Amino acid sequence: LAKTTQPISMDSYEGQEVNITCSHNNIATNDYITWYQQFPSQGPRFIIQGYKTKVTNEVASLFIPADRKSSTLSLPRVSLSDTAVYYCLVIDWGNQGGKLIFGQGTELSVKP
């Protein structure tokens, strides 16, 4: 299982773009990169997933360089409600049957 490393915490202000970078140096060929968001006292929520280059949805963008050893989650124009813990995971859906291994995540604090 590929291990991920991301900052423990980040601070931002409303309206700013936030970029959270995750390192996954030993990512395997079949691994996908997935990000989840968790608010206090709630279960995590899927944000975005990608394999390479760039993926964008209504919530965020995910940038993955060619070597795939890192990825960056980009949250445009954050608001107070984006304060949460963000988890970066790599997952081989074929061999692991969908098992997710969560790290400590990045605690994002958005200030007014």
Partner 1 sequence: EADIYQTPRYLVIGTGKKITLECSQTMGHDKMYWYQQDPGMELHLIHYSYGVNSTEKGDLSSESTVSRIRTEHFPLTLESARPSHTSQYLCASSTSAGGAYEQYFGPGTRLTVT
Residues that bind partner 1 in the complex, under the rule CB under 8 A: 32, 34, 41-46, 49, 87, 91, 93, 97-105
Q: With respect to partner 1, which residue has the nearer C-beta, 77 or 95?
A: 95
CB of 36 to partner 1, least distance (A): 8
Q: With respect to partner 1, which residue has the nearer C-beta, 45 or 77?
A: 45
Rounded to the nearest 5 percent, the helix, strand and coil shares of the chain are 5, 45, 45
Q: With respect to partner 1, which residue has the nearer C-beta, 13 or 46?
A: 46
DSSP assignment of 32-83 equals EEEEEEE-TTS--EEEEEESSEEEE-SS-EEEE-TT-SEEEEEESS--GGG-
CB of 15 to partner 1, least distance (A): 27
